[in-house]
Amino acid sequence: MKPHRLKLRRKLALLFILLAVSAITTTPLYAKDNFKVCWSIYVGWMPWDYGAKEGIVKKWAAKYGISIDVVQINDYIESINQYTAGAYDGCTMTNMDALTIPAAGGVDSTALVVGDFSNGNDGIVLKGKPALKDIKGQKVNLVELSVSHYLLARALESVGLSEKDITVVNTSDADLVAAYATPGVTSVVTWNPLLSEITAMPNSAKVFDSAKIPGEIIDLMVVNTKTLKDNPKFGKALTGAWYEIMAAMKDGSPKAKTARTFMATASGTDLKGYEAQLATTEMFYDAKNAVAFTNSPKLKTTMQYVAEFSFAHGLLGEGAPDAGFIGIEMPAGVYGSSGNVKLRFDPSYMKMAADGKL
Amino acid sequence: MKRVMNIHPGTVGKVLLGMLPFILTIIVYLWASGARLEANPNDKLTPSFATIGDAIERMAFEPSKRTGDYELWSDTTASLQRLLLGVLIAALLGLVVGILNGALPLVRANLSPYITTLSLIPPMAILPILFIIFGLGELSKVMLIVIGITPFIMRDLQARTMELPAEQLIKAQTLGASTWQVILRVIMPQILPRLIQGVRLSLGPAWLFLIAAEAIAAEQGLGYRIFLVRRYLSMDVILPYVVWITFLAFLTDWVLRQISYRAFPWFHGQMRDKS
């Protein structure tokens, strides 16, 4: 073999390794023009799909001279993991998952848009028993460590029981409805649209739902704090697009109906089914309400419950010495360690939308 | 000059060459992990070996705060129990039906098309039906493994039985053997090592079905743990579990191979390779 060929080969091999490694490792975040956000199917996040397909997101991005890709991911947890790993600049998730996945993973995250809270969209169903306290001693099928688990813990607390009085069986949400149809499964905790599917089955009683703990299960658009800080345009474009979508879907006009029908079809149901889900979801159509909700001191109490639940279940990482290990910054103050703030509720962009300054 | 195909590595060279890909994988991992941890010290995607070590210590040698179990061991016992039970049932069913199918044309005409059809159904696609029949408990997990691998073993053993030289069977009959005696004394001893081979080949799918079953509904198990901690991206727990599962799979394969060597040395002499 001739020596110069060898050199070329070696160079090529080195180049290949470098490329491979740089592909795996994170690219540093600087001011940029292209952004990617992800979402998964849920009643409160369908508007993102509508906004993307109708060009509303594109229009707002263009207004600020950037571009935003809105990508649907079929698996909710996978979408958050992708965001946490740095593949996306923002993603839809609940307040609890925002704390336990990206924030606990050291990715400083900001809740840019507070979209809605679950007001009956999550619930506990018992087979053949009318009251929540009958759950004692039962095996409860649910997605372990999810908001369902949190709801269960809050429900048990309300009737003086604890998790020791039941057995939790981790069950994939994809198989929960089929699982409930088997005789061995007597109680489940889940969310819509599965919840309405299950309560419709004979001999089933919904004994507790999130309407009894309003405002505790919050659906957010979470973005990387550093990206947001370096690129306020990104936050402005996303927030602006969101409230234009909200305005387009909220009332009884034919245009809003078309929008809701689009979202219904995209989430695998019909207009009636989607509106039933909307009824148990407290959407903040008006940016003012979202700002007021974020500013309220109650949010701090909620996040404290969520942090305490997460800590008790080891979700803040094994290195966490107490529930306040990860600081959560809210307008009402910081919960937990102010030196380790990883989750922020920032109403300033929603405020701009409310004031018409976007 | 020696042709490449004739160059044999020495004993030491063989070990070194075999280890090279493993070492390279570890180096690439350390590199990537180091770079990600430099950007974010709390990164969970590619934890450092120290973090992974802590996780192993916690899972294997410290009782869990919630249940008081040593989680790695209770998960392993639960999973191995399901796996062994499933594989055992599958092997027995496979042996009986496979030999009968191979030896008796009457049975073959009756069962073979059905089994061939069954073996083509992806078990994961009929999960809701399996739930309704077998419930969500231990039974359904064992049955998923059984349903997943039995048809393969049956078909394999049927084919192996039919490969036996006809002269052998005719000779046994001229010596006065009945159908039952031919099956028991001529076919069975020759099929048993092939059963072990078939089981070894189905161990991979068996693990796959076990982990899928545990991901769907479980209270403990190796697959359960992986899918649970996946909820908060605990790669420091997932990575050692994956290594542990690989090791267990390797170990079961090795044990089966040793049994085969000891019990059927003639078979391995005949095959001339060391599989």
Note the pLDDT tens digit of each residue in B235-245.
Answer: 889 999 999 99
Looking at the structure, tell me whether residues B121 and B177 fall in a common domain: yes
Looking at the structure, tell me whether residues B132 and B13 fall in a common domain: no
Residue A145, Ramachandran bin (φ over 0: left; ψ between -120 and 50: alpha; else beta): left
Number of domains comprising chain B: 2
Which of B44, B132, B218 is opposite residue A181, by nearest beta carbon? B132
Looking at the structure, tell me whether residues B143 and B202 fall in a common domain: yes
Q: Which residue has the higher pLDDT, B112 or A321?
A: B112
State pLDDT tens for residues A192-223: 888 988 998 889 999 999 999 999 999 999 99
Residues of A in contact with B43 (CB under 8 A): 105-106
Buried/exposed code over A13-39 (b: 16+ C-beta within 10 A; e: otherwise): eeeeeeeeeeebbbeeeeeeeebbbbb
Instruction: Tell me whether residues A170 and B217 touch, CB distance under 8 A.
Output: yes
User: Which chain B residue is nearest to residue A172, measuring alpha carbons?
Assistant: B216
**pLDDT score recorded for residue A22:** 56
Instruction: List the end-to-end C-alpha distance of chain B, in Å, as a whole number.
Output: 32
Instruction: Tell me whether residues A170 and B28 touch, CB distance under 8 A.
Output: no
Beta bridge partners of A207: none
Instruction: Tell me whether residues B132 and A145 touch, CB distance under 8 A.
Output: no
**pLDDT score recorded for residue B78:** 94
Residues of B in contact with A179 (CB under 8 A): 131, 136, 216-217
Please check whether residue B64 lies inside any domain of the structure. no
State pLDDT tens for residues B74-126: 999 999 999 999 999 999 999 999 999 999 999 999 999 999 999 999 988 88
Looking at the structure, tell me whether residues B40 and B77 fall in a common domain: no
Residues of A in contact with B215 (CB under 8 A): 172
Instruction: Tell me whether residues A145 and B231 touch, CB distance under 8 A.
Output: yes
Within an 8 Å CB–CB cutoff, is residue B217 touching chain A? yes
Looking at the structure, tell me whether residues B154 and B264 fall in a common domain: yes
pLDDT band at A57 (very low <50, low <70, confident <90, very high): very high
Looking at the structure, tell me whether residues B165 and B92 fall in a common domain: yes
Per the structure, the complete domain to which residue B38 belongs is given by: 4-46
Average the pLDDT over A260-278 and give the result: 91
Looking at the structure, tell me whether residues B38 and B132 fall in a common domain: no
**pLDDT score recorded for residue A26:** 47
**pLDDT score recorded for residue A1:** 43
Whether the per-residue pLDDT at A15 is higher than 70: the answer is: no
Least confidently predicted of A287-291, A340-344, B269-273: B269-273
Asked whether A181 and A201 are in contact (CB, 8 A), the reply is yes
Looking at the structure, tell me whether residues B151 and B265 fall in a common domain: yes
- As a whole number of angstroms, the distance between CA A184 and CA A186 comes to 6
Whether the per-residue pLDDT at A28 is higher than 50: the answer is: no
Please check whether residue B112 lies inside any domain of the structure. yes
Please check whether residue B265 lies inside any domain of the structure. yes
**pLDDT score recorded for residue A321:** 85
**pLDDT score recorded for residue A345:** 95
Looking at the structure, tell me whether residues B90 and B32 fall in a common domain: no
Residues of A in contact with B45 (CB under 8 A): 84-85, 105
Helix axis angle, A287-295 relative to A298-312, nearest 10°? 60
Please check whether residue B231 lies inside any domain of the structure. yes
State pLDDT tens for residues A226-255: 999 999 999 999 999 999 999 999 888 999
Residues of A in contact with B69 (CB under 8 A): none
Q: Which of these, A119, A122, A97, lies nearest to A107 by C-alpha position? A: A97
Please check whether residue B60 lies inside any domain of the structure. no
Half-sphere exposure of A98 (CA within 13 A, CB side): 31
**pLDDT score recorded for residue A320:** 82
**pLDDT score recorded for residue A27:** 47
Residue A129 CB neighbour total at 10 angstroms: 18
Please check whether residue B62 lies inside any domain of the structure. no
State pLDDT tens for residues B1-21: 889 998 888 899 999 999 999
Please check whether residue B77 lies inside any domain of the structure. yes
**pLDDT score recorded for residue B275:** 44
State pLDDT tens for residues A87-115: 999 999 999 999 999 999 889 999 999 99
Looking at the structure, tell me whether residues B16 and B111 fall in a common domain: no
Looking at the structure, tell me whether residues B97 and B176 fall in a common domain: yes
Whether the per-residue pLDDT at B273 is higher than 80: the answer is: no
Whether the per-residue pLDDT at A4 is higher than 60: the answer is: no
Please check whether residue B13 lies inside any domain of the structure. yes
